[in-house]
């Protein structure tokens, strides 16, 4: 079973007490794709003893020239480097070991997206019971996050929604930005978070002003589609005892429906707002 876990892994590494100094692990795998804009390569790799089981996931390659050499299908060998503080990991000493499969790589059906890739266009149902799709927001920069309304941990969903509320309030002050941007909060608890529940939740964060729903949707989707979105955006969630443990993920989607950037560790409202505005302005320039 393959799944994208790279950003969650970065968080996991934060808690690692095993990384008191820089560590390296040998990797062997096949390039699935590269993303020059984010400086990453998606690799389908074998077991990395002591670091990671066989899976398909994205790794940063700090040397842009090396990244440029890599083509989908290339077999590579490299060193996975984990930083001294355990907060980061990347590839070094990347060598192409076999070019014979170049261009013959099979597309990976579900995987964690890299910058520049099209996001899945799954149907969602919003707070008004209307079916919406990400492509409905074509031409706008879209900031997406994932929550469940009963989340009781103030540093998780309540914080995410509070930050989105601040971003929404800021965008409202500049009509040009407001019309070119969209906020989207997606619940991964569709059984409980019905449109009515999402509407009530949204109104609380819109401070009672329902007109804000035009630029900030609160939506859910079928379980199977939610799992597709979760894989695409690196979200992990599991239900237990009427609570849902989950990672925190935010993604920025460009006006053309491709991923601009995703966050799963550190961010601020100001950073999100700035990046969202930049994406909207790029749209204005065509």
* Residue of 77, 56, 65, 70 lying closest to 5 (CA atoms): 56
For another protein, give the closer residue by CB, 155 or 211. Answer: 155
- CB neighbours of 173 closer than 8 A, spacing ≥ 6? none
Residue 82 beta carbon to another protein: minimum distance, rounded to whole angstroms: 10
Least separation in angstroms between CB 152 and another protein: 5
> Which residue lies nearer to another protein by CB, 14 or 105?
14
Cβ closest to another protein, residue 137 vs residue 164: 164
CB proximity list for 72: less than 8 A, separation 6 or greater: 31, 32, 33, 34, 102, 103, 105
Choose among 98, 109, 86, 138: nearest CA to 3.
109
CB of 1 to another protein, least distance (A): 5
Q: Are strands 23-35 and 40-45 parallel, antiparallel or unpaired?
A: antiparallel
What CA–CA distances, in Å, run from 189 to 4, 90, 120, 148, 246?
21, 34, 19, 6, 11
Measured from the CB atom, the residue of 67 and 230 that comes closer to another protein is 230
Q: Give the pair of three-digit tokens for residue 281.
A: 């302005």
Binding site for another protein (CB under 8 A): 1-3, 5, 8-9, 11-18, 50-55, 149-159, 161-163, 165-166, 192, 204-205, 207, 236-238, 240-247, 269
Shortest Å distance, C-beta 274 to another protein: 17
Distance of closest approach, residue 138 Cβ to another protein, in angstroms: 30
CB-wise, 103 or 208, nearer to another protein?
208
């Amino acid at each position: 079973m393959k799944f994208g876990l790279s950003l969650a892994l970065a968080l996991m590494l934060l808690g690692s007490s095993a990384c008191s100094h820089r560590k390296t692990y040998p990797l062997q795998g096949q390039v699935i794709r590269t993303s020059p804009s984010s400086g990453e390569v998606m690799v389908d790799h074998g077991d990395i003893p002591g670091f990671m089981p066989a899976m398909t996931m994205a790794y940063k390659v700090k040397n842009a020239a090396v990244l440029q050499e890599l083509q989908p299908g290339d077999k590579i060998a490299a060193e996975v480097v984990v930083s001294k503080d355990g907060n980061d990991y990347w590839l070094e000493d990347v060598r192409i070991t076999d070019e014979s499969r170049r261009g013959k790589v099979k597309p990976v059906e579900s995987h964690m997206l890299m910058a520049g890739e099209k996001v899945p266009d799954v149907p969602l149902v919003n707070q008004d019971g209307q079916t919406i799709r990400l492509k409905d927001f074509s031409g706008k920069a879209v900031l997406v996050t994932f929550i469940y309304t009963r989340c009781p941990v103030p540093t998780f969903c309540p914080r995410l929604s509070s930050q989105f509320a601040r971003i929404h309030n800021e965008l409202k002050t500049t009509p040009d930005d407001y019309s070119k941007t969209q906020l989207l909060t997606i619940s991964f608890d569709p059984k409980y978070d019905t449109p009515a529940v999402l509407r009530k939740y949204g109104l609380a964060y819109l401070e009672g002003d329902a007109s804000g729903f035009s630029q900030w949707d609160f939506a859910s989707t079928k379980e199977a589609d939610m799992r597709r979105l979760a894989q695409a955006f690196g979200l992990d969630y599991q239900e237990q005892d009427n609570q849902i443990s989950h990672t925190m993920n935010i993604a920025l989607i460009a006006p053309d429906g491709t991923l601009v950037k995703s966050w799963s560790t550190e961010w601020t409202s100001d950073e999100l707002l700035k990046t969202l505005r930049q994406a909207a302005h790029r749209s204005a320039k065509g």
